[in-house]
Amino acid sequence: MRYAHSIADLVGNTPLVRLNHVTDGIGATVLAKVEYFNPGGSAKDRIAARILDAAERDGLLRPGGTIVEPTSGNTGVGLAIAALQRGYRMIFVVPDKFAGEKVAVLEAYGAEVVVTDTHVEPEDPRSYYSVSDRLAREIPGAFKPNQFANQNGPRSHYETTGPEIWRDTDGRITHFVAGVGTGGTISGTGRYLHEVSDGRVRVVGADPEGSIYSGGPVHGYLVEGVGEDFWPETYDRTVVDEFHRVGDAESFAMTRRLAREEGLLVGGSSGMAVVAALRTARDLDDDAVVVVLLPDHGRAYLSRIFDDDWMSAHGFDTPIDTHDTPGSNA
């Protein structure tokens, strides 16, 4: 019989899919690594099992323990899938700007969710960071994975995402493009690809306008899961060869095109990464192979990026609905 021993065993080995329509006018091959094929629907499934394995090994997490983590969604789902069969209690602390569908998903996996006020300073006792720190301190047997500092995050990408891409492209990849949140994906995958190719593969970061990584003024933006206003320990500054700064409007327009033209219903950080990948690919020869990582599924964003009223209310055009025919770029 051929079956998985548990859903947690199906993490990783996500497919590469060629982009055929948004690449109009580009000679290079652009391949998307579609991370929504992971069982929890995002790349974050990869980091969760390794984080829990290491915590158990180091004695930080024992039977009957509780996992406490501030997360806006994907990391919580990944941790839930890894944790629930091991019998841990899960408490996720979520800022209220992400409340709604994402909270419902975490609760569906049996997690307890504490919603906190987004509009307070990190040092405020009501903040997302302070509340999770307090719970981790007060609850006996609590373990906080701390995805912004836990080196098992980048390590899991070094051990899985990088080798998968190298294997599936037969070593022909020339450029790797990814968004940067904790930096785990780009640091781990990029380091592996640099090493295995003797520095031939170029690692390109995609960053929202307003984030710290790509320089320029730090300010708010709407694309979720990427960019930061501080330097996390999981980000390795020696790996990224160049950054592209991408605005919310461009990220969201591309996210909608990916659904309509490629059949890829993905989140806003995927649209952002594809904008950076196309800017990279535009200047390359036909034999270049650009791999862009798409971190999560679009279903969590139906009431925002895919909602015309939400888009208009935030000042974004929805050109695809008014004058652009789906597939017209094909």
- Interface positions with ligand PMP (CB under 6 A): 74, 179-185, 224-226, 267, 269, 295-296
Please, what is the minimum distance in Å from the beta carbon of residue 117 to ligand PMP?
21
Collapsing DSSP states into helix, strand and coil, what is residue 215?
Answer: coil
What dihedral angle (degrees, nearest 10) is formed by the CA atoms of 208, 212, 44, 100?
Answer: -60
Residue closer to ligand PMP by CB (options 234, 284) is: 234
Concatenated DSSP letters for 258-305? Answer: IIIII---B-HHHHHHHHHHHHHHHTS-TT-EEEEEE-BBSGGGTTTT
Residue with smallest beta-carbon separation from ligand PMP: 225
44 a catalytic residue: yes
Q: Which is nearer to ligand PMP, 38 or 182 (CB)?
A: 182
From the candidates 44, 97, 102, 144, which is the catalytic residue? 44
Cβ closest to ligand PMP, residue 141 vs residue 247: 247
Least separation in angstroms between residue 187's CB and ligand PMP is 8
Minimum distance from residue 105 beta carbon to ligand PMP (Å) = 13
* Count of beta carbons in the 10 Å neighbourhood of residue 90: 20
Residue placing its CB nearer to ligand PMP in the complex, 22 or 300 = 300
Compute the least distance from the CB of residue 62 to ligand PMP, in Å: 27
Q: In what order do the strands lie in the sheet with 112-116?
A: 112-116, 89-95, 66-70, 142-143
Task: Check: CB of residue 161 under 8 Å from CB of residue 257.
Answer: no
Residues annotated as catalytic are 44
